Amino acid sequence: MTIRLLILLVVSLTSGVAWSQSSLPADGSFSAKGHLQYRSDSSGRLTLAQVWADSSHFQSVPGDIPQFGMGQPPAWFRCYVANRSDRADLLIAQIDYAHLQSVRFFMVSEQGHLLRQSAPLGWATPVANRPWQHHNPLFAFTLAPRQAAWLFVRADGGHTRLAFPLQVYHPAAFLRADRFKRSFYDYITGFLSFATFFSLLLYGLLRDRVYLFYTLYVLSGFLYLTATEGYWFVWIDSPTYGFMPAVDLAELSLYLLTLASFGFARWYIFEPVFHLNWLRRVFWLSVGALLVNSVLLFSLLGGPFYLAHKAAFHLLMSSMYLVSVLLMAGAGLWLGLLAARSAATGPARLYMMAISPAVVQVILGYLRNNNLIDDHFFIREGVALTALLEFAILSVGLGFRYKFIADERQQLTVEAVKQKQQLLVSQLKAQQDELRATQALLYAQQEKERISRDLHDHVGAQLSVIAASANTPTSEQASRMGDYAREAMQSLRDTVWAIDQPAITLAGFRSKLQQYLNRQQQQHPACTYTLTMTTPANPELTSAQALNLFRQVQEAVHNAFKHAHATAITVVCTLLASELHLSVTDNGRGFNPGKLADGSAHYGLRNLQRRADEMGGTCCIESEPGRGTTVLVTIPLAD
C-alpha cells in the first residue's frame, strides 16, 4: 500500500514538473492547448484530495477554449502557474463565462498542500456577496518569488453549456482588459439603443408595423447580448427574475430575438408575396416550432425528465430551433435570389446580407453547444460583432425605406391635392355651367318680357289706334291709319333686327340709327336731324343693348319733336374706356325735371330710365325751360 501511494505521488510530481513549462501567461491571453487539463466528475462527488491523488484521469483540452456542450456533468480543471521573478506576484484568475452554476477555485502547492480556496461561486451568487463585484467568477491569489503552484477549478454548467475560458491577469492588465470589454459592449448596446429609438421614431411617423417589429427585434437583440454576457447579474442582483431563474434570461432573450426577427421578416420581405401557400406554411411552421420549443424548454428545465435525459433533451430542442431558423432563412434566400421579379426581392436581398453572419453564428453555436466543434472567438465575441453588422445594415435599409415611403406619401399627397383641386375646379365649372344655364333661362325670360313689352309699347299702341279708327274711318283717319300701320311694321322690323342676331357691331348700330333719323327727316322736314359717332367699329352690343339704346333714341327724338317742338335734334355716340355714351340733344322749349310728378303723363321719361337700368347703366336728363333738353345714357360694354 505504501509503495502504491509512493508511485502515485511520483506520478503526480512528475506530471507537475512536465507542466511547469506550460503555465498560463498572466496577460490575459488564453489558449487551453498546452496549458489546461480536465477530467469529468460524472458522479459529482469527487473531492480535491481524490482529484490530486489520481492524476492519471486528467487529459489535455483539445481546443483553444474548453467547451463540453449542454447538460454535461461537472468537470475538474487544472493548470500550472509559476512566478519566475524575484518579487511576490498578485494574479487574478477569471472564467470569462457568467452562466456556470457552480465554480470553486483551489490553490495547491507542488507538494499537494492546499494554499488557498474560494467560496462556491455561480450565477445565483449575489454580486454583492462575491469577493469581486463582477458578473464573471474571479479568484485572486499571490505567488511568492520563484514560487510555482497548481490552480484547480471545479466547474458545473448545470443545464447550460459547460464552457471554461480561463484567463490569468496581473491586476493592471485585468482592469485594462475589463475596461476594454465593457467599452466594447457599451458601444454596441449604445448603437442598439439608438437603433431602437430611431425605429420607434419612424414607426411613430409612418405607423408602419415593419418599424414596430424592428424595434422589438433590436430590443430583444440588446437583451440577448447583455444577458449572454452576464450584465443582468449585476444590473438586477437577484437569482430570479419573476417567474424564471436569472440564468434562463439569456435563453429566453434568444427566443424573443428569433420571434421578433420572424415577425420583422414577415412584414419586411414576405408581405408582398405572403399570399403564396408554401410561404405561409413555412412561416407558421417556423413560428410554431419555435413556440413549442420554448414552452418545452422552460417547462421541463430542472425536472426529472430533463435530469434523466439532459443530452438528448438539449439535442432535440436545439435541433428544432436550428430547423426553424434555417426554414426562415431559406425562404428569405428564395425571395432574394430566385424570385427576381418579386416586389420583395430588394428587401429580401438586404435582409439576407444582414442576417447571413447571424445564421452562420446560429449553425456554429448549434455545433458548439452539442460539442461538435471547439469554442472560439468568432462564436463568442463574434456574436456581438455580427449583431452590430446586422442591425447597422438593416437600419440603413429601413432609413432608405422611410425616405422612399415619405417621398411616396408626399407624392400621393401632392396627387391628392391635385385631384382635389381638379375636383373643385370641375365642381366650380359645373356650378358655373349651371349658373350660365340659369342666367340663360333668366335672360330668355327677360328677352320674352322685353320683346313683349316692346311690341306692346310700340306695335301694340299703334295697332290700337288703327283698331279704334277702323270702324268708320274718314279720309284723314284712313291716312293716319296708314301712317300708324307703317310705323307698326317698322317697329316690328326694328325688333326683329335686334333679336335676330346675338351681337351687333357699333358700325351696324350706327347704320340703324342713321336710317331711323333719315326717315324722321323725311317725315318732318322742318326739323334737322344729325348723327355723330366717334367710336371704333369693332366693339359689339348685345341684341338687348342695341334694341334698348335704339328705343331710347326713338323715345328722346319723339319727345323732342312732339312735346318740345324742337327744330334741331343731335344724336352723339362716343366710346370712353369701356363705357358707351349716347346723348340726344334738342333745341326745344325745355322743362324743369325737378318739378315733374311721377305720373302716367311722364311714362316716356320713366321708360328711358328703366331701359338704362336693364343694361346696368344710367340715364340723366338735363333740361331748363327755354334752353332745350339733353338725354344722356351711359352703359358699360364687355371687355
Task: Give which of 92, 110, 106 is closest to 148, Cα–Cα.
Answer: 110
For the packed helices 209-229 and 171-206, what is the interaxial angle rounded to 10 degrees?
170
CA–CA gap between residue 330 and residue 265 (Å, rounded): 12
CA–CA gap between residue 21 and residue 148 (Å, rounded): 11
For residues 342 and 322, the answer to whether their CB atoms sit within 8 Å is: no
Please give the angle made by the CA atoms of 30, 36 and 40, to the nearest 5 degrees.
Answer: 130
The CA-based diameter of the chain, rounded to the nearest angstrom, is: 183
Tell me the mean pLDDT per 10 residues along the chain, length 639.
35 38 71 86 90 87 78 89 90 92 94 92 89 91 92 90 88 91 89 86 83 89 90 88 84 88 85 84 90 76 63 75 85 70 63 74 72 66 80 78 72 83 86 79 64 58 57 60 61 61 79 86 88 78 82 86 87 87 90 66 74 87 88 84
Question: How does strand 528-534 pair with strand 568-576?
Answer: parallel
Buried/exposed code over 266-286 (b: 16+ C-beta within 10 A; e: otherwise)? bbbbbeebeeeeebeebbeeb
Question: And the C-alpha cell for 402?
Answer: 422611410
**pLDDT for res 118:** 92
**pLDDT for res 140:** 94
CA–CA gap between residue 305 and residue 328 (Å, rounded): 31
Task: Give which of 105, 124, 90 is closest to 166, Cα–Cα.
Answer: 105
What order do you get walking across the sheet with 75-82 strand by strand? 59-60, 36-40, 75-82, 148-156, 102-109, 114-117
Burial class (CB in 10 A: 0-12, 13-18, 19+), 415: exposed
**pLDDT for res 250:** 86
**pLDDT for res 12:** 39
Q: Which helix H or strand E contains 477, and what residues bound it?
A: helix 475-499
Phi/psi at 59 (5° precision): -140, 160
For residues 277 and 348, the answer to whether their CB atoms sit within 8 Å is: no
Question: And the C-alpha cell for 627?
Answer: 334752353
**pLDDT for res 90:** 92
Q: Characterise 590 by phi-psi region: left (phi > 0), alpha (psi -120 to 50), beta (else).
A: left
The one-letter amino acid code at 501 reads: Q
CA–CA gap between residue 630 and residue 586 (Å, rounded): 7
CA–CA gap between residue 137 and residue 93 (Å, rounded): 8
What order do you get walking across the sheet with 629-636 strand by strand? 528-534, 568-576, 579-586, 629-636, 618-623
For residues 238 and 246, the answer to whether their CB atoms sit within 8 Å is: yes
For residues 110 and 12, the answer to whether their CB atoms sit within 8 Å is: no
User: Residue 361: helix, strand or coil by DSSP?
Assistant: helix
**pLDDT for res 179:** 92
